[in-house]
Amino acid sequence: MIGLVLRRLAQGVPTLLAVVAVSFFMMRLAPGGPFDLERPLSPAAMENLRRVYGLNQPLIVQFGGYLGALARGDLGPSFSFQDMTVAGLIRQGLPVSATLGGLALLLATVLGVGLGTLAALRRGGPADRVIGLGAALSLSLPSFVVAPLFQIAFGLTLRWLPLSGWDGGSPGHLILPVATLALPQVGALARLTRASLGEALRTQPVRTMRSFGLPPFRVTRHALRGALLPVVAYLGPLAAALLTGSVVVETIFGLPGIGRYFVEGALNRDYTLVMGVVLVVAAFVIVLNLAADLACAWLDPRLRVAP
């Protein structure tokens, strides 16, 4: 298991450096800049700002300086949020995005695996058809459509839940954005679980267990252990997708997460803020994929020695 961790970390470090390099040069080469305002500054003021932030230097020098600051844990100042550092903004927004993504992941996993298991056990029956239809419907509706529908139904019409805001993470303000994020993933996990468990239930060991008269619960539990491998492997990128996919949801529901900061930073060409968010998200992707690999290795010991 330790060898697996070391192999994944050895792959993760160069991947993270590659993400940083590609993001850095793409941001710098894109049209516009952080100080291109509607009312242009005088050439002297613009040159002074570029000198203060080191933007007048060659790109390779800027990149070397950024890597040096990054090695010291300094993500730099924000260009668009006055008197704020990128690290400070991420510290403010990351708990919001992590709470939103974590709850959506938990909800999607419980409902998706549960419904997929029910569909596999009732294969071809009414429950299977209803769950399949619901999964297809949830996958076909994007978040920017679901979110306004939820706001109209539960916020404006029924007046059960607030339309937007954070309010310190109160349950009422979490329900709609979490449900919006989780809905398409419930369908994806349900279909994946149904296919995997349905195949596992038709294997020779499971048929042998049934022929010995073992209780259905024990047979299903045995089959589910192997069937969960593709589901667990999917949870790593899914968790990262929920963290980054909250960009639209945070914007619609007015939540102060890192997704919203990323959008504002991209619109304002805030190089350091966009780079900071990209770096944090890339690190989360690597860590979450490592966690998924470890969970798969726990379920199937053969994967511990896989290359």
CA distances to 106, 118, 191, 238, 295 from 111, rounded to whole Å, are: 9, 10, 11, 15, 20
In this structure, is residue 186 part of a structural domain?
Answer: yes
- For residue 115, the model assigns a pLDDT of 92
In this structure, is residue 45 part of a structural domain?
Answer: no
Distance in Å from the first CA to the final CA of the chain: 12
Domain extent at residue 191:
94-266
Compute the average pLDDT of residues 106-111: 92
Task: Give CA–CA dist 293/201, Å, rounded.
Answer: 24
In this structure, is residue 258 part of a structural domain?
Answer: yes
Structure-token pair, residue 128: 């299977």
Angle between helices 258-267 and 216-253 (to 10 degrees): 40
Per the structure, how many domains does the chain have? Answer: 1
What would the pLDDT profile of 47-101 be if each residue is shown by its tens digit?
Answer: 787 788 788 888 899 899 889 988 888 888 888 887 888 999 988 888 888 899 8
Residue type, 171: P
CA atoms within 13 A on the CB side of 270: 26
Task: Give CA–CA dist 125/128, Å, rounded.
Answer: 5
What would the pLDDT profile of 188-245 be if each residue is shown by its tens digit?
Answer: 999 998 888 888 877 777 777 777 777 777 777 777 777 788 888 888 778 877 876 6
Tell me the longest C-alpha to C-alpha distance in the chain: 86
In this structure, is residue 238 part of a structural domain?
Answer: yes
What would the pLDDT profile of 280-307 be if each residue is shown by its tens digit?
Answer: 888 888 888 788 777 777 766 665 554 5
Contact 288, 102 (CB under 8 A): no
In this structure, is residue 22 part of a structural domain?
Answer: no
CATH of the domain at 234: 1.10.3720.10
In this structure, is residue 47 part of a structural domain?
Answer: no
In this structure, is residue 37 part of a structural domain?
Answer: no
Alpha helices in 30-125 (DSSP H): 43-52, 59-71, 86-121
In this structure, is residue 70 part of a structural domain?
Answer: no
Residue type, 34: P
- For residue 245, the model assigns a pLDDT of 61
Task: Give CA–CA dist 185/129, Å, rounded.
Answer: 18
Task: Give CA–CA dist 175/173, Å, rounded.
Answer: 6
Structure-token pair, residue 175: 């329900």
